[in-house]
Amino acid sequence: MKIEVAQHCGFCTGVKNAVQLAQNSLKKQENVAVLGDLVHNKVVMDELKDNGLVFVDSLDNVGDMPLLLRAHGTDVNLIHTAKEMGLNIIDATCPLVREIHKHARELEEEGRQVIIIGDRDHDEVIGIVSRLQDSCIIESPDDIDSCKLKQRTGVVIQSTQRIENVQNILPLLLTRSRDCRIINTICEPTRRNQTEILSLAQNNDCVLVIGDSASANSKRLYEVARSLNENAFMVAGQEEINVAWLKGCTSIGITAGASTPRKLIEEIVTYIKTLNGDTIK
Ligand code: SF4
């Protein structure tokens, strides 16, 4: 069986930097706090926890530990409060997310109402909204009617959005806004992954997307793969692979979300190689 691994898969640059920053900080101090998951992947989180990363649910529980801010950005009000409390902040916000903050503020300075295409409960979107005076979140075309659009608008997009969703929303926005400036802020790693998954799903009998169920971008890759190939599956690890999925397949495409570590991808590739000669006929 041919195994095709996507050229770009696993940790994106933002997640890689955040994990490295956490690991380096933990070499200098015993414990570092983070609000919520640093990475949406249990394997990575468990390893960091073992090395001293502490997951807290409120600033009040940070104590005297340094506070690590996650790659996808943080509510600016929370950062102000943390500074007022005198906390030592280690900022792992991805430079590409900072770019979105910058673009959104520029649009607002131009006198535009800022529209954010993204998931309203996602930390990245919460972080963008917190930096603006007047904004509106659109998750899907259904949200447009409930958003009171002004004549001058500006659009930024959550870095990990599916391009198809954006393509469905933009024409509707353009019919309702006379002066609309759109900045495509889907990040380069996401665009690459979304392009590669198309050929991976079309050129192989079966597709495996490796990612945690908490990882939104892994789920998006899976949705795209599944829409093109009914033999597409998402697994968090090797133990979730059902050998029956691969029966009769002559080729398998493998990709992974931005929070999946390289070692997990390698483990699964090795496992599939062992199945090839034995179990699969
Ligand atoms: S998905 Fe893109 S924007 Fe988000 S952390 Fe990764 S590289 Fe940065």
What pLDDT does 215 receive? Answer: 86
Q: What is the Cα–Cα distance from 130 to 183, expressed in whole angstroms?
A: 19
CATH topology of domain 2-10+189-277: Cobalt-precorrin-4 Transmethylase; domain 1 (3.40.1010)
Domain 13-93 has what CATH class? alpha beta
pLDDT at 37 over 50: yes
Q: Is the pLDDT of residue 63 over 50?
A: yes
Domain residue extents for the chain: 2-10+189-277, 13-93, 96-186
Instruction: Establish whether residue 187 lines the binding site of ligand 1, counting it when its CB lies within 6 angstroms of any ligand atom.
Output: yes
Residue-wise pLDDT tens digits, 91-128: 999 999 999 999 999 999 999 999 999 999 999 999 99
Q: Which CATH number fits domain 96-186: 3.90.1150.10, 3.40.1010.20, 3.20.20.120, 3.30.565.10?
A: 3.40.1010.20
Strand order in the sheet with 152-157: 135-138, 113-117, 152-157, 179-182
Q: Are domains 2-10+189-277 and 96-186 of this chain identical in fold?
A: yes
* pLDDT at residue 1 is higher than 50: yes
- What is the model's pLDDT at position 280? 43
Cα 57 to averaged position of ligand 1 atoms, centre (Å): 23
pLDDT tens-digit profile of 247-273? 889 999 999 999 999 999 999 999 998
pLDDT score of 216: 82
pLDDT for the residue numbered 276: 67
Q: For residue 54, give Cα distances in angstroms to 38, 45, 238.
A: 10, 10, 27
216 close to 40: Cβ distance less than 8 angstroms: yes
What percentage of the chain carries pLDDT values higher than 70? 98
Q: For atom 8 of ligand 1, which residue has the closest CA?
A: 14
- Give 208 Cα–ligand 1 centroid separation in angstroms: 22
pLDDT tens track for 181-224: 999 999 999 999 989 999 999 999 999 999 998 888 899 899 99
> What integer pLDDT is reported at residue 275 of this predicted model?
81
Q: Whose CA is nearest to atom 7 of ligand 1?
A: 14
Active site residue 124: yes
